[in-house]
Amino acid sequence: MTSPTQLLTPRMAGLLQRIQRANRPPFHSLTPREARIAYRMGAEILDLPRAPLARVEELQVAGLPARLYAPSAERLPVLLYLHGGGFTIGDLETHDSLCRQLSLRSGAAVLALDYRLAPEHRFPAAVDDAWAALEWLHRQADGLGLDGRRLAVGGDSAGGTLAAGAAFFARDRGLPLALQLLITPGTASRADTASHRFFANGFLLDAASIAWFFDQYIARQQRHDWRFAPLEADDHSGLAPACFVLAECDPLVDEGIAYADTLRAAGVDVQLELYRGVTHDFIKMGRQIPEAITALDACAAAIRGQLQT
């Protein structure tokens, strides 16, 4: 039987060894405040340098802090971006480099939202924030010099879960949504797939941390709610086209593939990009992992293709 570690690329394996030697305390051993600080301190160490852009502006969106990125002053289409971090950690700073790269490479504007975090704001606060921001962006884009009729939503990890939920909101409210960009998203109510077992420890996102994030965010009796587990929605038809960016050595990979299959079966246009030998969060490792650059380019191509940048 293949060992999980044998699946890793040499660069990914070496990077994981260096991370493990650093002996940082796992998130589940910290308080939420301590975990946020730790994540912010390390979040962009492996990311590409922050790219200069023509527009980088601090905004208030539906009463929440947000940051707008755009490569030009033209009237551009826009992607609402929802950061990862298990609904508990992460912010505008931890994903600044990633948002800059998505904007730079796609030619579209990116609006990153600083949505409310658990445990201070438990489910469905983050969902409500994502939906409010998408509606706000559709209505207010003209005032920002953007094209609210060419609109996408995206996110990584927990942010991918929120982006998937926002696609239902757009469908049901009649908002024009051209793309849902789902980067290593969570889509299931339980961490019980084969990939959760196979990559439970030593692959950056450990089982204990997943359980900790879930417990911070949502009560057990709520976990079958499709806003947390979009796989369990009753009707997936009519959703916006989806681009999935998945990592082979990620506990979440099986549920990502399952959701892509579910959308495809419902008639949704699906693009699936599976990167072999890399872990969760690999897209934020562009200084070290070449697959991160390839994935960024794939995201940019999907944004350009659907938003016609």
Cβ-based neighbour number of residue 262 at 10 Å? 17
97 in active site: no
Backbone angles phi, psi at 182, to 5 degrees: -115, 105
Backbone angles phi, psi at 61, to 5 degrees: -120, 115
Taking a C-beta distance cutoff of 8 angstroms, is the pair 155, 172 a contact?
no
Question: Considering just the CA atoms, what is the radius of gyration of the chain in Å?
Answer: 18
Distance between CA atoms of residues 129 and 111, nearest Å: 13
Distance between CA atoms of residues 92 and 112, nearest Å: 7
Of 97, 103, 157, 209, the catalytic one is: 157
Structure letter (DSSP) for residue 255 = H
Of 95, 138, 236, 280, the catalytic one is: 280
Q: In what order do the strands lie in the sheet with 146-156?
A: 55-61, 64-70, 109-113, 76-82, 146-156, 179-183, 242-249, 270-279
157 in active site: yes
92: which residues sit within 8 A by CB, 6+ positions away?
Answer: 65, 66, 67, 83, 112, 114
The token pair at 118 is: 């658990």
280 in active site: yes
Of 147, 250, 254, 281, the catalytic one is: 250
- Smallest Cα–Cα separation from 112: which of 79, 138, 85? 79
Distance between CA atoms of residues 306 and 63, nearest Å: 29
Region of residue 295 (phi > 0: left; psi between -120 and 50: alpha; otherwise: beta): alpha
What positions carry a catalytic annotation? 157, 250, 280
